[in-house]
Amino acid sequence: MAPALTGCGTGAGGSKKITLVAAEYGDGKPANSSKRYWDSVARTFEGDHKGVKVSVEVYSWTEVDKKVADMVAAGNAPDIAQIGAYADFAAAGKLYSADQLLSVPTQADFIDSIAAAGEVHRMQYGLPFVSSTRLLFYNKTLFEKAGVLRAPQSWDELQAAASKLKDAGVKMPFGLPLGPEEAPAESLLWMLGAGGGYTDKNDDYVINSHENVQAFTWLRDELVGKKLTGSDPARTNRQDVFDAFCKGQVGMLNGHPSLMQQAEAGGIKYGMAPLPGISGKAKSTMGVADWLMAFKQNGHRKEIGQFLDFVYGTQTVLDFTTQYGLLPVTQSASDQMQKDGQNKKLLPFLEPLQNAVFYPANKTSWAKVSKTIKEKIGQAVQPGGDPMGVLSEIQTQAQSVESPH
C-alpha cells in the first residue's frame, strides 16, 4: 500500500509542529483508512491548541515498523510512532517515559494488565493504543451436524468434539495455525491452557517448561496425530484458517474480534466461548496490544504530552476501536463500551482483558525469539516430533539473545 502523507505546515507565529507515524488498520479503501481518523483527531486537537500543528503519516503494517526504525537510524525520529514494538527504542534511551508525558488521570486510566506490558525495568515507555484478546470460535451448523451439543471447556472435550466433527466429514475439525504468520500467538494460547507461558514471574524465559512441553505433546498426540487438524499445522497460517472457517470448512479455531465480521460476511453461524484448558476453562487468554511511543530527539515533550492526553480521551479511543472491531486500553472507554449498545459483540473479548497475558514485548530479545518460534514450533507437533527437543532449542536461543554481549 502506498504511504499516505500529509504535511500540516509549521504554522504562523512560531507554532511547533509534531510528527506522528502510524499504522494502517483499514482494508485499503479510503473510507476505512486510519489516515482519516488521525487527520480528524489532529484537526480537532489543533483547534484547541493554537500553538501546535500535527503532521500525520500512515503506512501499512508490512512497512511501518521498518519505516520508523529507518527514520530513527537516520537521526530523523518522528515525535510519536504508533507501531508494534517499543522495547529496542526504550533500551537505547530514545523514548520519553509515560510519566514524563501524560497527566496523572490519563496514566491511571490504562487497564493494569496492558500498562504493565509496556514497562521496561518497571518504567512504562510503551503506551498501549488498542488491544484484542482471543476466544474459541465454533461453527454452530457443523456442531449440530456432528452432534456436538456445546462448546468444549477442556482439552478432552475439545478432542472429543473434533473427533465427532471429523466423523461427520468436516474438512478441518480444529484449525491449528502454527505456520509463520501466527505461530507465537497460537503457541501462547496452548501454553496458557496448560498453565504455562513464555516467561515466569521474574520475566525469565521458560519456553521448555513442563507445562509448555505438556501442551505441545498433547497437540502432537491428541489433535495432529489423530488427524483432527485437516492440514499440517507448521504450514498453516492464521488467515488460511480464517478463510476456511468463513467457507464453512472449519469446526473450531482460536480467533480474535475481526473474525466476527469475516464470518458474518461469509454467512457462517458461529458461537464464541472461553478458551478450553487442560482440565477445564483456561485461567487466562492471550492479549495483544499495539503501542504508541514518543521520541526525545526533537525535544517536544510538552506538545507530545498534550496531544497524547487528547488521544486517550474516552470518545477518541472509542471512535477508533469501534471502527476496527478492537478493544480499548483505558478503563473509562471500556466502561463506556459496556454501557453502549452498539458494541455488544465485542463484550465477550473485553471481559478476559483484565487477566490477559501479553507477549514479553518489553524484552529487546523478543523480536528474535518470536522469529525462531515462527520457524521451528510447528515441528514440535508433527507425528514423531519431539516437543521437549524443539522447545529446549528455542529456549537455548532465547537465553543466548537475552544475555548481554
169: left (phi over 0), alpha (psi -120 to 50) or beta: left
Helix (H, G, I), strand (E, B) or coil at 231: coil
3-class secondary-structure state, position 106: helix
Give 273's contacts (C-beta < 8 A, 6+ positions apart): 135, 136, 138, 151, 152, 153
Quote the pLDDT of residue 14.
60
pLDDT the model gives residue 5: 32
Give the helix, strand, coil percentages of the chain, each rounded to 5. Answer: 50, 20, 35
Q: CA–CA separation, 380 vs 383, rounded Å?
A: 9
Cβ 357 vs Cβ 188: under 8 Å: yes
pLDDT for residue 9: 38
Instruction: State how beta strands 172-175 and 250-255 pair.
Output: parallel
Extract the residue ranges of the chain whose pLDDT is less than 70.
1-14, 342, 404-405
Domain boundaries, the chain: 4-131+288-357, 135-284+365-402
CA angle 359, 293, 79 (to 5 degrees): 155
Instruction: Give strand pairing partners of 281.
Output: 276
Rounded-to-integer distance, Cα 183 and Cα 324, Å: 23
| Residue matched to cell numbers 520519553 | 96
- The mean pLDDT value of the chain amounts to 92
> Which class for 28: exposed (0-12), middle (13-18), buried (19 or more C-beta within 10 A)?
exposed
CATH of domain 135-284+365-402: 3.40.190.10
Question: Which class is domain 4-131+288-357?
Answer: alpha beta
Predicted confidence at residue 6, as pLDDT, reads: 32
* DSSP summary character for residue 153: S
Distance CA(211)–CA(226), nearest Å, equals 21
Q: What residues contact 347, with CB distance under 8 A and at least 6 apart?
A: 337, 338
Q: Which amino acid is present at 346? A: L
CA 43 to CA 307: how far, in whole Å?
11
| Cβ 270 vs Cβ 141: under 8 Å | no
The per-residue pLDDT for 206 is 98
Q: By C-alpha distance, which of 136, 108, 141, 138 is closest to 124? A: 108
pLDDT value for 178: 96
CB 234 within 8 A of CB 178: yes
Q: What's at 191, amino acid-wise?
A: M
The secondary structure element, H or E, covering residue 292 is: strand 286-294
Neighbour-count burial for 16-25, b at 16+ CB within 10 Å, e otherwise:
bbbbbbbbbb
Spatial contact of 338 and 149, defined as CB atoms under 8 Å apart:
no
Domain pair 4-131+288-357 / 135-284+365-402, same fold: yes
Residue 5 CB burial class (10 angstroms; 0-12, 13-18, ≥19): exposed
Which pLDDT value is given to residue 30?
81
C-alpha cell belonging to residue 178: 502454527
Please report the pLDDT score of residue 218 as a whole number. 98
DSSP reduced 3-state for 294? strand
CA angle 194, 187, 404 (to 5 degrees): 105
